[in-house]
Amino acid sequence: MTAISKPGESGTNRFELLVQSVTDYAIYMLDPTGEVVSWNAGAERFKGYAADEIIGQNFSRFYTQEDRATGLPARALATAEREGRFEAEGWRVRKDGTHFWANVVIDPIRDPDGVLLGFAKVTRDLTERRATEEELRRSEERFRLLVQSVSDYAIYMLDPEGHVASWNAGAERFKGYTADDILGAHFSRFYTDEDRATDLPGRALATARSQGRFEAEGWRVRKDGTRFWASVVIDTVRDSSGSFIGFAKITRDLTERRQSQLALDQAREALFQAQKMEAIGKLTGGVAHDFNNLLAAIIGSLDLARRRASEGADISRFLDNAMKAAERGATLTQRMLAFARKQELKLEPVDPSALVRGMADLLQRTIGAAIRIDTQFPLLLRSVRADPAQLELALLNLVVNARDALPDGGKILIAAHEKQVELGGALKPGAYVALSVVDTGSGMDEETLARATEPFYTTKGVGKGTGLGLSMVHGFAEQCGGRLLLQSRQGEGTTAELWLPVSGDAKVEPQAPTPAPAPVETAERDRLVVLAVDDDALVLTNTAAMLEDAGHRVIQASSGKQALQLLSESQVDLLVTDFAMPDMNGVQLADAARAGWPDLPALLVSGFAELSDEVGANLPRLAKPFRRDQLVRAVREAVAASKGAGQIVPFRARQ
C-alpha cells in the first residue's frame, strides 16, 4: 500500500511524528552497542530523561544494579540479534532512581542486505497493573491461609461435576482424608450408601445450581468408615464475568451437639412423662374421692332399699337418693369431658339473668347460709349463645370456688354486662356478655393465679377434688367461642369473668320450668325385636331390661361378630349398638349389618362424645348414661327416621 504524503512532507518525517506523538510507550532506537540514538515523548514521560540527556548513553542505565551485575542488558541484545526478538518483564530505573515495572520488547533493525543497524526498543510501564495483580495475589493468599487455618469447618471447592478441587485443614481433621487422598475424587464418597442410592449428592448439586444454595443436615462418612452428623451448605461459585465454575462446600461436624440435643430431648421426655404420671395421680385421687362418695350413696341406698323391700316397706326415698347420686356421677363425667373439650354442646340462645334466677335455690343450698349471694344485672341484657346445661354447671363451679375462698362466710356477687371486642384481640370481634362471679375471700397469689386453669391443679389437698373445675369452665367457654378471665390479688378476693358471645336472636324471655317428660309407653303395634350389642355385660343387661320393660323383645350380643351371626338367624326390627367395642366398633357393625339388611334401622350408643361429625354421620345417637324414657324415645325416633314416617311398622308385621 502506498503512503499518501502532504506536499513537502517526506515519509520519514511522518513516521517520526507518529513515534513522537506516542506517550504511553517508550519507543526508541539503540545502535548495535546499545547506545540510545532516538528518544520519544513516551520515554521521556515515564523514564524521566530528556532527549539531549540520554541520546549517546547506553541503555543499560535503565536496569537495576542487580540486572547489570548479571549482564542482563547485553544478553537481551544478543537474544534479540540471534532470535529476532527479546521480550521480558522486570524492574527498571527512572532518572530519579525510582523503580517501575516494565514490559520490554527489543527487535533487531537490519538493512536490505541483512546488516545489523541497531535495535528498536519498546517499553511499557506496567507498575499499576502489577500492583493490582500483586494485591490480588496477596488477597488470594490471605484467603487461602484463612481457609487453610480453619479447623472446625471443612471448607473446600468442587468443580461443576462435583470433584474435589481444594481441601482445608478442617476437612482433613474430621473427614480423615489428606489433600493428596481426596483431590480429584468425587464428593459423593462422603455420603452414606443409603444417600448415594437415592442420589442425594446429585440432587444437592442440582438444587445449589438451580437455586444458588443447598443446605441440609444428615449423616456423613469419614475415611475410616465411621459416621458423623453434619451440617452442609453448598453454594455456587462464579467468576468475575458471572460464568459458573463450581461449588463452595462448607461442612460442620455437629455430632456432639446432636448427641447433647438428643440427651436433652430424652430428659424433657422423661420430665414430661413424670409430670403426666403426677397429673394422672392427681386426677385418679380426685376422681376416686368423688366417685367413692357417690358409690357410697348409691350402694348404701340400694342395699337399704333391698332390705326394706323384703319387709314390704316404702323404698322410694332410697331409690331417689341412689338416682340423685348416679346423676351427680354423670355430672362429674361431664366435667371431665368438658376439660378434654370432648362433650357435645347444644348451643342455643340463653338468657343469663333468667338462668341465674332459675338456679337461685340450688346455689343457695350449695354454698350454705353463712354466705350471701347478690346479683347485679342490667334491665336489658341480650341472650348469649351457649349450652344451658353446661352453662349452669360452669356457673355452679365458679360459685363453689368462691365459697371455698370464704371459709368464715362473706358475700358473693353474680353480675353481668355487655362488652364489645374489636379486631385484633384474643376473641373474635363482636358483642359479648361477661358473666362474673366476684368474692371477697382470700384471693390468689401470682403463682396460684397463673396455674388456676391448669389441668388437675387444686389447692384443696390430695384426694379432695379433681382439679377440673376451672379447667372445665375454661374448656366450655372456648367451645362456645368465648373465654374465661380470672383477676385476683391475695387478700382482696377474686373475680371470674365468663365471656360468652351474644346470640344473634332477640332477647330470650324467661320461661317457666319445663316439666319432666312423661314416661314413654310402647303400644302393642309398636313393639319390636331389638338386637342390643355391648361388650360390657352389666350395661348390656341394663339396656336389655329397659327395652323389655318398654315392651320390646330383646336379643343380646356381646360383640359385633356375634351380632352379625344373630342377624342371620333371627328377624330383627332394630339394632342398638355401643360404639366402643374391640375388633369391630358400632359404626363398623352398623355398616356391615346394613350391607346385608339395607332397611335395618340402627341406633348408636356412646359413653363418650369424641366422635367427629363424619363418623357415623347417618346414624342416630344416644349418649350414656341414659334413662328408660330417653332410650325408648331414641328407639322410636331411630325407627321413624329410617322409614321416613312417624309410624313404626315392625318388620315382622310387613312380612
Final residue of a structural domain among 466, 501, 536:
501
β-strand partners of 158: 164, 247
Task: Give the residue among 607, 587, 601, 602 at the shortest CA–CA distance from 540.
Answer: 607
Are 439 and 572 contained in the same domain?
no
Beta strand 553-557 with 529-533 is: parallel
Decide if 123 contacts 115 (C-beta within 8 A): no
> Among residues of the chain, what percentage have pLDDT more than 70?
79
Q: Residue written as cell 344473634?
A: 504
Residues 529 and 616 in one domain: yes
Q: d(Cα 88, Cα 73) in Å, to the nearest integer? A: 11
- Would you state the pLDDT for residue 108? 94
Q: Are residues 390 and 425 in the same domain?
A: yes
d(CA 106, CA 121): 5
Distance CA 589, CA 378 (A): 53
Which of 198, 225, 253 is a domain's end point?
Answer: 253
Residue 31 lies in a domain: yes
Single pTM value for the model: 0.39
CA atoms of 551 and 629, how far apart (whole Å): 12
Share of the chain above pLDDT 90, in %: 31
CA nearest neighbour of 540 among 558, 527, 552: 558
Specify if 3 maps to a domain.
Answer: no
Answer whether 375's CB lies under 8 Å from 417's CB: no
For residue 8 the three cell numbers come to: 513537502
Q: 369 with 458, same domain?
A: yes
**Domain-ending residue, one of 300, 321, 337:** 337
Q: With respect to residue 479, please indicate whether it lies within any of the assigned structural domains.
A: yes
Q: What is the pLDDT of residue 76?
A: 92
- CA dist 300 and 3 (Å) reads 137
State the DSSP H helix or E strand holding residue 487, giving kind and residue range, or none if neither.
strand 483-488
Triad 117, 123, 127: Cα angle to 5°: 165
With CA atoms as reference, report the closest residue to 605 among 564, 576, 641: 576
- Determine what percent of the chain falls in helix, strand and coil, rounding each to the nearest 5: 45, 25, 35
Per-chain mean pLDDT for the chain: 81
pLDDT at 507: 44
Tell me, yes or no, whether 93 and 56 share the same domain. yes
Residues of the chain with pLDDT under 50: 1-9, 341-342, 461-466, 506-517, 609-610, 645-655
The burial of 41, by beta-carbon neighbours within 10 Å (0-12 exposed, 13-18 middle, 19 or more buried), is given as: middle
Of 638, 606, 627, 640, give the one whose Cα is nearest residue 550.
Answer: 627
17 and 48 co-located in one domain:
yes
Q: What are phi and psi of 273, to 5 degrees?
A: -65, -40
Alpha carbons within 13 A on the beta-carbon side of 247: 30
For residue 528 the three cell numbers come to 319390636
Do 320 and 411 fall into the same domain? Answer: no
Q: How far apart are CA 204 and CA 202, in angstroms?
A: 5
How many residues can be counted in the chain? Answer: 655
Return the pLDDT at 466. Answer: 46
Which range of residues forms the domain containing residue 596? 524-654
CA distances from 529 to 365, 550, 589 (A): 46, 12, 18
The pLDDT score that the predictor gives to residue 455 is 55
Distance CA 100, CA 127 (A): 6
Residue 83: all three cell numbers together: 532470535
Angle (CA) 404 408 409, round 5° = 75
Same domain, residue pair 216 and 298:
no
Taking the CB of residue 607, how many other CB atoms lie within 10 A of it? Answer: 14
Say if residue 383 is in the same domain as residue 440: yes
Grid cell at residue 597: 339388611
Q: Say whether both 331 and 290 belong to one domain.
A: yes
Measuring CA to CA, which residue among 394, 432, 431, 442 is closest to residue 414? 394
Q: In the beta sheet, which residues pair with residue 228?
A: 220
Residue 57 within any structural domain of the chain? yes
472 in the same domain as 362 = yes
Note whether 245 and 157 are same-domain residues. Answer: yes
Write the secondary structure of 176-193 as one string of H (helix), E (strand) and C (coil). CCCHHHHCCCEHHHHECH
Element (H, E) at 112: none
